Structure formats: structure tokens, C-alpha cells
């Protein structure tokens, strides 16, 4: 059940590239850069991976978050994340890499090509948003640290700091929050590390200073406030899978034909349209089927959900 007017055509198929970035976005972007003191940085080009859907408002994206480190309420992260210290920030890179070590945030991302990517975001709770991230491809980062030949998976961990993350005072989840990807998923050009939102540094409630974004998987795969990246030869443990393996699989690809045991995943409610906004059918791989289906050729996605 696809929406009636959905075609595979993208805006770039009909619009000359020069007209891509509309004036309002340019101005907003410029204002954002000015505000964040990044004057002199070249304006971000529109990525070919971006959706043409209209992004949600900055307010929606920054006040409606699942970030259980700050509490289970959707507004808890916006309320409490302000106390999080993100300078200095270091990331431990270890496992099967050529250049292991503990990197400062700036050192780790130095030299990586940054761009804006407007991605659809589908939460496992069956709501969705459209988010203009800025960041770089995870593959570029992995190339920078050098992936060794035995590596098959990438594992990530979020910061543990109960003094600044009140949700961690309770063992609601088995902290640290952990996520993982198969190496080919991690190297896929759609997989990115976001360090910004709407052209400004990433707000803390959205996972500052750096988070994963995997647009064809449920949102919880996109781990926030990363402090550790490990390359391993075995499938890493992932937090929600540990919490309830029957409900959350390692892959957790968006899949309208595999329901959450307690609710349907066949459709979703795009947020931002108010009380009467229309429910729409969920698309396989969140609409990124053409780009990523190849990764899962021959796999039974009903079993390996």
C-alpha cells in the first residue's frame, strides 16, 4: 500500500541543481552559522541522499526525544540534557583498527567531509519525523582509523555519567546504552555520524556531540552521545535486544510486515501536522529500499528482524 502519488522521481530529477537550496533555507542556514560562530565555513551543499520531504521544525525535533539517559518522558531530554558536559569529549576507538586510541572529539572528526542530509526518521513506536542532520559518513571515519581485515561488526557505546544523566540512576536499561551494526551496514553511504542539526551543532537532547544516524532502521539504533567505537569480529550486544530479545532484534530494520509483538508496524503517524495529521503506510526500510535492500539479500528478515 503505497501512497497514491508516490513516484520514484526525486526533486533533483526535475529541478536544476542550482535551484535546489531554496532561499529561505539558505538564509536560515546562514543565520544558523552566524549564530553558532562558524562564519567562514562553506555553506553545506544539498546531498543526493536527502529526501525532499519537508523537515520537522527544530522545536519538534528538540523537544520530543527518546533518550532514556535523561528520563523516559519525551520532554525529559530537553529538560535535563542541558546539564551534560560535552566539552571536553573523548571517544575511545578500539578493537580491530589500525589506529586505536582515545581521541578528542575535534581530532576524531577533523578532515572528514561534512554535509547536510535530510533523512526520514522512523521510531519503533510508530511515529516519524524528517530531520536535517549535518555530519559525515561513518565510512569516512572508519577509513580514517583503519579497519582491519578481521572486523565484521562495529559496536558503539553511549556515555555513562549518572551525575549528569538522571535516568541512569535507575537500571531501567543495562547502561551503557549499546548499539551495533554489521560492517557492511556501517560502511553504507547512508549511514552517518551526525554532529549537527539544522546547520548548528547538535543539541544535547539529540545526542551531542556526536551520534549515529541509520535512516532505514528504527530510531533506537541511532545511538546518541557516543564515547566508544569498537571494531569486532562478533555480533555485539545491543541494549534493546538485551532488554527484550523477542521485541527488538539486532537488525531492527524498518519493516511494515514484521510487527512489534505488542503493536503494528504497518503504518506510522508523521509528526508535525497537528492533531489531525494523516497516518501513512510504513515503507520497507523506511523508504530506503532501493539503496539498502542489497545488504540483506537472501536473509529471512522475518526471523532476523
Which residues sit at the interface with another protein, rule CB under 8 A? 56, 59-61, 63-64, 68, 72, 74-75, 124-125, 127, 129, 170, 172-173, 240, 243-244, 259, 262-264, 266-267, 269, 271-272, 274-279
- Residue 58's φ and ψ, nearest 5 degrees, are -55, -35
For the bound state, the minimum distance from the C-beta of residue 4 to another protein, rounded and expressed in Å, comes to 16
What would the grid cell of residue 294 be?
542489497
Q: How far apart are CB 59 and another protein at their closest, in Å?
A: 8
- Identify whether the C-beta of residue 237 lies closer than 8 Å to the C-beta of residue 250: no
Please name every residue paired with 281 in a beta bridge, in sequence order, or none if there are none.
267
| CA–CA separation, 219 and 216 (whole Å) | 9
Q: How far is the CB of 69 from another protein (least distance, A)?
A: 13
Nearer to another protein, 39 or 275 (CB): 275
Nearer to another protein, 200 or 269 (CB): 269
Task: Please say which residue, 1 or 26, places its beta carbon nearer to another protein.
Answer: 1
Task: Please write down the HEC assignment for all residues of 234-267.
Answer: CCCCCHHHHHCCCCCCCCCECCCCCCECCECCCE
Closest contact distance (angstroms) between CB of 71 and another protein is 9
CA distance 238 to 221: 9
Sort strands 267-270 and 280-281 into parallel, antiparallel or unpaired.
Answer: antiparallel
CB of 126 to another protein, least distance (A): 10
3-state secondary structure of 148: coil
The CB-of-158 to another protein minimum distance in angstroms stands at: 15
Which positions ≥6 away from 3 have C-beta within 8 Å?
Answer: 280, 281
- Residue among 136 and 175 whose Cβ is closer to another protein: 175
Amino acid at each position: 500500500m503505497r501512497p497514491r502519488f508516490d513516484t520514484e522521481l526525486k526533486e533533483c530529477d526535475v529541478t536544476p541543481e542550482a535551484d535546489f537550496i531554496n532561499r529561505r533555507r539558505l538564509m536560515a542556514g546562514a543565520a544558523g552559522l552566524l549564530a553558532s560562530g562558524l562564519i567562514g565555513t562553506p555553506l553545506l551543499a544539498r546531498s543526493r541522499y536527502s529526501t525532499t520531504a519537508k523537515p520537522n521544525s527544530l522545536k519538534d525535533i528538540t523537544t520530543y526525544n527518546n533518550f532514556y539517559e535523561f528520563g523516559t518522558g519525551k520532554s525529559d531530554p530537553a529538560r535535563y540534557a542541558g546539564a551534560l558536559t560535552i566539552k571536553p569529549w573523548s571517544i575511545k576507538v578500539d578493537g580491530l583498527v589500525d589506529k586505536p586510541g582515545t581521541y578528542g572529539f575535534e581530532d576524531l572528526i577533523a578532515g572528514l567531509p561534512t554535509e547536510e542530509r535530510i533523512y526520514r526518521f522512523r521510531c519503533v513506536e510508530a511515529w516519524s519525523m524528517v530531520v536535517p542532520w549535518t555530519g559525515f559518513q561513518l565510512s569516512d571515519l572508519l577509513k580514517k582509523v583503519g579497519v582491519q581485515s578481521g572486523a565484521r561488526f562495529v559496536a558503539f557505546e553511549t556515555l555513562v555519567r549518572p551525575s549528569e544523566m538522571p535516568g541512569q540512576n535507575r537500571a531501567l536499561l543495562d547502561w551503557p546504552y549499546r548499539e551495533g551494526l554489521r560492517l557492511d551496514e556501517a560502511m553504507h553511504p547512508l549511514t552517518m555520524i551526525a554532529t549537527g542539526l539544522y546547520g548548528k551543532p547538535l543539541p544535547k537532547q539529540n545526542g551531542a556531540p556526536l551520534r549515529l544516524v541509520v535512516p532505514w532502521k528504527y530510531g533506537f539504533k541511532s545511538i546518541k552521545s557516543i564515547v566508544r567505537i569498537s571494531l569486532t569480529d562478533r555480533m555485539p550486544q545491543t541494549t534493546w535486544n538485551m532488554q527484550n530479545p523477542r521485541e527488538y532484534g539486532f537488525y531492527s530494520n524498518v519493516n511494515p510486515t514484521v510487527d512489534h509483538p505488542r503493536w503494528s508496524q504497518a503504518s506510522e503517524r508523521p509528526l508535525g501536522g497537528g492533531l489531525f495529521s494523516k497516518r501513512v503506510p510504513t515503507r520497507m526500510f523506511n523508504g530506503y529500499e532501493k539503496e539498502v535492500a542489497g545488504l540483506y539479500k537472501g536473509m529471512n528478515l522475518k526471523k532476523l528482524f
